[in-house]
Chain A
Amino acid sequence: MTLSVDDVKRVANLARIEISEEESQQVLIQLSGIFSLIEQMQAVDTSHIEPMSHAQDMIQRLREDVVTESDQHILFQSIAPQVEASLYLVPKVIE
């Protein structure tokens, strides 16, 4: 798989990372290196291997359905830039 500078810019945009033209060229080389490593790994026949979804071979523990958290919004909101009517205020975004 070959990656273009446009792909790099698109991914950067999706990840909300600002990168310069020069940086994109560098990142392109680095990412292309990663992709060739992935290609190398994909060449291995894994058809008889069960896919692994987690690095640790353990199973998820579950919690009982009880309310254990109390209201701490005053503490949490003490570090928020702007608050009103116990809401966090953010620049207006309408999708």
Chain B
Amino acid sequence: MQWEIVIGLEIHAQLSTRSKIFSGASTAYGAQPNTQACGIDIALPGVLPVLNYSAVERAIKFGLAVGATINSPSIFARKNYFYPDLPKGYQISQFELPVVQGGHINIQVEDIEKTIRLTRAHLEEDAGKSLHEDFHGMSGIDLNRAGTPLLEIVSEPDMRSSAEAAAYAKALHTLVRWIGICDGNMQEGSFRCDANVSVRPHGTEKLGTRCEIKNLNSFRFLEKAIDFEARRQIEILEDGGNIRQETRLYDANRDETRTMRSKEEAHDYRYFPDPDLLPLNISKEWIEQVKAMLPELPEARHNRYIEDFGLSGYDANVLTATREIADYFENTVKQLPAQAKLCANWIMGEVSGRLNKENIEITHCPVSPAQLAELLARISDGTISGKSAKDVFDSMWQGEHGSSADAIIAAKGLKQISDDNEIEKLIDEVLAANPQQVADYRSGKEKAFNSLVGQVMKVTKGKANPAQVNTILKKKLLE
């Protein structure tokens, strides 16, 4: 039987506010345990939550970026469960009327475009962290993370393969960083994925029983966990078994998922509106104000790069991977509008390669877009060859001659010899010194030609314009 995999994702994006969602404690990562957990975060009796303006604003920003409805009023609810890293005994979240309702994200897998619908995105507070290393048989609790603002983004079950799920997660990851609401740092847990996976016979409508997979902290693990889980479910069904609805944990070391809790033990969260928080009113004016702050979105830029610059879909994808790369590209192209493809190639090749190798962010690139454009202008006007351009780039990277391409070209004498007379003179010398190859070529040995080109390049230390050398040499040999 042919099986179809059905996937929906829940993504928790940590919002990049300075303070917590309901208190004035800092959200900075990596502080000494419990030094950023104030009375509200540790739930001392009598404290009251006060909502952070910027957390709401970031949620609105996201909603507008995915074409969703912004609910007003929007309300907060208590999600009740017991765990030591949740001091209040409930998490403040949203149940009915989340800030963001609906919306969609477009993804591309193997050149096929697909729209993934969002169900909702709601604001909530993060819990603390439990450390189970041995503290004399006890667990250590760090409440610094408690109260950190999260946006939980829930998709519809619209994905049909692990590749689509990864493409969706990556698109969201790009988007939240692009609009500046989340730093996207997956190692620090700022962007976390849970996947709901089920399978059904191809061509049927009814959804199979799903399992939720937790603990997917990289796109690769997301793909591998989904693949494993789908195989597991198909095997059970083909053996005549039934899938149990449960929460499973992905173990990256063993590349498998295993039961965390079954539905029978599933939490009954007893959601109800939080009486400590009044309904949140989001005015039309506020929405308009946020709309005006939104930058041009990745998808719009992607399409513009294809239409205005004639770049391929692949190039446009790479260049819009982050807003910083896209800005670098645009600032380069601005100086060299006719050479967008050359700019794209250099940024995706030489610049990115060097940044990766030295682990530098593009915002700290030693070669500025204007400086790169100056170099690329010298390639396109024939002053230097592509090969010597790499040497010049290297010098620019080191900061030689103020990273000025022209200064480096002059200092290193890398200017191409493009003067016909000069090249002719050099070719005459080479021909006179290599009578054997000349005779070989004239008697029909094509290979001798390449050898002569090589000789010319050697004499000129690679500075002769290769196209010109070819033409002039051919002409001379026919004389």
Contact = CB atoms under 8 A, between A and B. Distances in A.
Partners in one complex: yes
Interface of A: 14, 16, 53-56, 58-69, 71-73, 76-77, 82, 84-95
Contacts, number: 128
B279 A53 contact: yes
B423 interface: no
Contact of B26 (A60, A62, A69, A77): A69
Chain A contact residues, majority secondary structure: loop
B53 A53 contact: no
Contact of B280 (A60, A72, A76, A88): A60
Q: How large is the interface on B (under 10, 10 to 19, 20 to 34, 35 or more residues)?
A: 35 or more
Contacts of B261: 95
A68 to B, nearest CB: 3
A89 B24 CA distance: 25
B29 interface: no
Interface string B114-140: 000000000000000011100111111
Contacts of A72: 38-39
6 contacts: A54-B275, A66-B24, A67-B18, A69-B38, A73-B35, A92-B137
A73 B23 CA distance: 15
Given A69-B26, A87-B140, A90-B138, A55 B275 contact: yes
A87 B34 contact: yes
B266 to A, nearest CB: 11
Contacts of A84: 135, 140
A67 B31 CA distance: 14
Q: Which of B53, B82, B140, B142 has the most CB of A within 10 A?
A: B140
Lowest 6 CB-CB distances: which A-B pairs, in order? Answer: A68-B24, A87-B140, A65-B54, A69-B38, A62-B53, A60-B278
Contact of A87 (B19, B131, B279): B131
Given A60-B51, A65-B18, A76 B35 contact: no
B330 to A, nearest CB: 30
Given A65-B18, A76-B34, A94-B132, A60 B281 contact: yes
Nearest to A14: B268
A14 B138 contact: no
Given A62-B51, A69-B36, A88-B140, 14 more contacts: A53-B75, A53-B279, A54-B75, A59-B278, A59-B281, A63-B50, A65-B17, A65-B18, A65-B53, A66-B18, A67-B25, A86-B35, A87-B141, A87-B142
Contacts of B33: 73, 85-87
A71 B55 CA distance: 22
Nearest to B54: A65
Interface string B34-67: 1111110010100000111111100000000000
A26 to B, nearest CB: 22
